[in-house]
Amino acid sequence: MDGKIAVVTGGSRGIGRGICLELAKRGATVIAAARNQSALEELADEAQKRELPGKIDARTLDVSDREAIDPFIEAIIEKYDRIDILVNNAGITRDGLVMSMDDDQFDDVLTTNLRSVFWLIRAVCRGMVRQRYGRIVNIGSVSGVMGNPGQANYAASKAGIIGLTKSLAKELGKRKITCNVVAPGFIATDMTAGLPEQLMTSMKSVLPLGRIGEVEEVAGVVGFLASDEASYITGQVLVVDGGLHM
C-alpha cells in the first residue's frame, strides 16, 4: 500500500484504531477521522513511535454532520490529490426494545451508521471513478446478518450497509472499484471490556472457536480487502465472528 491514501472513520479507538494501524503498517497514509482529536493524536504518535512504513494524519470529523462531509473530503483531496481507500467504521448504538424505542433512538443510529456511509461514499467515488481505482470497505456487524434482540435500529443500519455495498459493487465495478463489508462479531474492545464476566462466559460458550475475537483479527481482514490482493473480490460480506452466526 505504499503511497496509497486511506480514510478511516471512527479511527480513534477499538476496531477503527486497529484498522488505522494496520493500513499504516502496510505503508498507507491514513487519514484517521473521529470526534475525539486528542485520542487521534495519541494514535498518530503511536504510529510514529512504532516507525510504521506509513503515517497517520489525525483529523476531527463528526460523520453525523452532513454539512461537514464534503469539506472534509475536499480538504484531503486538496492536500493529497486523491483518495484510494475508504473504510467506513464509525458507528453508535442506542439499544432498546422496539416497543419502547423512540424516534430519536432509531434515527440517530441510522444517521451515524448508515446515512454517513452513503454521504462519504458519494463524496469520494467521483475521484475513484476518474482514477479508475478504489477500495471501499464498510464495517458492518453480525447483528446486520442475523439480527439481535434489543438492537433493531443497529441491526437495521448494518443490514442497510450490506444492501448499499452490494449495489455500489455493481455500479462501480467496471471502474476497478471494489466494495465489500466486514461484519465483526464479539471483539475485545473498550465496549466489551465493561461487560459482566458471566455474560462474557456465556458468549464464549456459544462460539465454535470458544473465545472473543481480537481487534487485529478484524483489522487484518480489512487490510486484505483494501489491498491489491483482493482486486477480484467485490460485493461480499466477510463475517469475522468465530463462527457465531452459523
Q: Is 150 left (phi over 0), alpha (psi -120 to 50) or beta?
A: left
| Residues that are catalytic | 154
Residue 135 CA to residue 231 CA, distance in Å, equals 9
Residue 127 CA to residue 133 CA, distance in Å, equals 9
SS3 content of the chain, % helix, strand, coil (to 5): 50, 15, 30
- Number of Cβ atoms within 10 Å of the Cβ of 184: 25
Cα-Cα-Cα-Cα dihedral sign, residues 129, 134, 135, 137: negative
